Chains A and B, each alone.
Chain A
Amino acid sequence: KAGVTQTPRYLIKTRGQQVTLSCSPISGHRSVSWYQQTPGQGLQFLFEYFSETQRNKGNFPGRFSGRQFSNSRSEMNVSTLELGDSALYLCASKGRGATEAFFGQGTRLTVV
């Protein structure tokens, strides 16, 4: 069974640009959560999608948005990038009725 797949693995963007990250969950998993990980703040929750609906949202500015498609694949978008957005972005999927989440390998975003 394939794991959670995130693309791309690495990205370098310039301040002010926007970026879209993709996450394909484990087959059959309908819940996808996104996290930002930085050395100082640890893993911070961005949002969770389930069946194409956002059902949880963390404390991030509106520049961070996401969506989920009917096949459960999810995308995260960050507009007007700032240097502080440089981080590892992780997505995790959960199965039906499960509480444990499985992570993808992450996308390392560097904003210069």
Chain B
Amino acid sequence: QKEVEQNSGPLSVPEGAIASLNCTYSDRGSQSFFWYRQYSGKSPELIMFIYSNGDKEDGRFTAQLNKASQYVSLLIRDSQPSDSATYLCAVNTPSPGGYQKVTFGIGTKLQVIP
């Protein structure tokens, strides 16, 4: 089982719709969770992070965390063609030595159709 799992997609949504991106993780000790957006040929950029169960909203983006189900999601409301990118889920987990290790999912490719 992979430590962080995402459907690679592509996920196609029409412009203006809600895009829902999902991620599951295997380590119950994971403490913080991140969503990165990566445009083709570019480096990942941080969109949001979440530490606590529940929802966290930032503009058109909402991150949702359910630690009991080991599930993180990202909702994008009013999707725009400019949102077309690969979305990477990243999970911070304790590693030997007392430090934190960030593990990434393979990413979900989102296509917003005009």
- Which residues from chain A sit less than 8 Å from chain B, CB to CB? 33, 35, 41-45, 48, 50, 55-56, 90, 99-106
B46 & A43 in contact (Cβ 8 Å cutoff): no
A106 & B97 in contact (Cβ 8 Å cutoff): no
In angstroms, how far is the closest chain B Cβ from the Cβ of A74? 16
B interface majority secondary structure = strand
Question: How far, in whole Å, are A103 and B37 apart by their CA atoms in the complex?
Answer: 11
Q: Within 8 Å CB of B92, what residues of A?
A: 99
Question: How far, in whole Å, are A56 and B95 apart by their CA atoms in the complex?
Answer: 8
Sample (27) of A-B pairs whose CB atoms are under 8 Å apart? A35-B104, A41-B106, A42-B106, A42-B107, A43-B44, A43-B88, A43-B104, A44-B104, A45-B101, A45-B102, A45-B104, A48-B99, A50-B99, A56-B99, A90-B43, A99-B34, A99-B92, A99-B100, A100-B46, A100-B49, A101-B46, A101-B102, A102-B46, A103-B43, A103-B44, A103-B45, A105-B43
User: Chain B: interface residue count, which band?
Assistant: 20 to 34
Q: Within 8 Å CB of B43, what residues of A?
A: 90, 103-106
Q: Within 8 Å CB of B106, what residues of A?
A: 41-43
- Which residues from chain B sit less than 8 Å from chain A, CB to CB? 31-32, 34, 36, 42-46, 49, 88, 92, 95, 97, 99-107
A interface majority secondary structure = strand
Which one of A55, A100, A102 contacts B99 once the chains associate, using CB atoms below 8 Å?
Answer: A55
User: Given A41-B106, A90-B44, A105-B42, are A99 and B101 neighbors across the interface (CB < 8 Å)?
Assistant: no
In angstroms, how far is the closest chain A Cβ from the Cβ of B95? 6
Question: How far, in whole Å, are A45 and B45 apart by their CA atoms in the complex?
Answer: 17
Q: Within 8 Å CB of B103, what residues of A?
A: 45
B103 to chain A: closest residue by CB: A45
A99 & B32 in contact (Cβ 8 Å cutoff): yes
Q: Within 8 Å CB of A55, what residues of B?
A: 97, 99
Question: How far, in whole Å, are A104 and B101 apart by their CA atoms in the complex?
Answer: 18
